[in-house]
């Protein structure tokens, strides 16, 4: 079913019957895997990253109505894109760390060129502790908490959750080259307003679920703290970009409405390379 037809049906359900709306959102939409492809413009100084591809996925909340098959299909779609880097932007579980094992059994199959990296979400910090790092490491995924990893053409950085942890921007960026572009993962998107650093080519975030339950025309009905300014999509500021993913899981309510699970494939483009 194409997106426009699905939205038309959802519009009818939303205004027609609350029960039908919930049925659609819980039985159909929450099990879809939407692939969003976006070209991200680079400032001239970061032109060396032209064509670099980043996959973004997060907000699994795998103990809240987790779906192993959904994660498996998402991983397969990412692998089919042949990306350079995967960033997992936090909230792997809501409360129960026992759900990390089946989730990581699927995530360990990701195959990007440079590697798969992760950051803490607020729920991970509130409830999980060191188990997250252990499970991710066993799955071949590096958890970055106020850390950066330098590659020949790019720095990959990860900040701790601002709501549940203790982010430290100076410590994260202190050992990075002054001219090398940075791709940063930070769970909460409104942190994009909390720094000015021309080295950051792209920040990727989650946290908002894109609203999870959205109203036609109006959009997200409820948004969390640190996710009200930048709820979903691509934003720019002083040459840097932010992309906020809708995530793949559900929290509290086992449904999505006009907001299907998403993996994002971001292609960085130098000046003059953006498709018209």
CA dist., res. 14 & res. 221, Å (int): 13
Residue 222, number of CB atoms within 10 A of its CB: 12
* pLDDT of the chain, 276 residues: tens digit per residue: 343 444 444 444 444 445 444 454 455 778 899 999 999 999 999 999 999 999 999 999 999 999 999 999 999 999 999 999 999 999 999 999 999 999 999 999 999 999 999 999 999 999 999 999 999 999 999 999 999 999 999 999 999 999 999 999 999 998 887 789 999 999 999 999 999 999 999 999 999 999 999 999 889 999 999 999 999 999 999 999 999 999 999 998 889 999 999 999 999 999 766 654
Instruction: Sketch the domain layout of the chain as residue ranges.
Output: 3-269
Q: Look up tokens 């390379």; give the residue.
A: 273
Contact between 187 and 206 (Cβ < 8 Å): yes
For the domain covering 3-269, report its CATH number: 3.60.21.10
| Token pair recorded at residue 53 | 């591809």
| Token pair recorded at residue 266 | 């971001």
């Amino acid at each position: 079913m194409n997106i426009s037809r699905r939205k038309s049906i959802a519009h009818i359900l939303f205004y027609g019957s609350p029960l039908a709306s919930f049925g659609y959102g819980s039985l159909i939409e929450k099990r879809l895997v939407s692939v969003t492809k976006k070209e991200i413009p680079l400032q001239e100084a970061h032109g060396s990253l032209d064509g670099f591809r980043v996959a973004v996925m997060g907000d699994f909340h795998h103990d809240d109505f987790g779906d192993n098959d959904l994660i498996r299909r998402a991983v397969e779609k990412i692998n089919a894109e042949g990306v350079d880097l995967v960033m997992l932007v936090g909230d792997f579980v809501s409360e129960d760390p026992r759900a990390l094992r089946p989730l990581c059994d699927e995530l360990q199959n990701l195959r990007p060129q440079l590697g798969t990296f992760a950051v803490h979400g607020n729920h991970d910090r509130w409830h999980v502790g060191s188990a997250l790092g252990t499970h991710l490491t066993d799955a071949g995924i590096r958890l970055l908490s106020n850390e950066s990893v330098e590659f020949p053409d790019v720095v990959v950085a990860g900040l701790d959750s601002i709501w549940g942890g203790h982010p430290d921007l100076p410590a994260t960026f202190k050992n990075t080259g002054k001219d090398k572009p940075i791709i940063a993962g930070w769970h909460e998107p409104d942190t994009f307003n909390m720094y000015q650093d021309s080295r950051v080519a792209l920040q990727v975030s989650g946290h908002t679920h894109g609203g999870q339950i959205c109203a036609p025309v109006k959009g997200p009905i409820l948004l969390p703290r640190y996710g009200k300014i930048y709820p979903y999509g691509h934003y720019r500021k002083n040459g840097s970009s932010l992309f906020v993913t809708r995530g793949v899981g559900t929290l509290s309510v086992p449904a999505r409405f006009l907001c299907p699970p998403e993996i994002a494939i971001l292609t960085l483009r130098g000046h003059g390379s953006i498709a018209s």
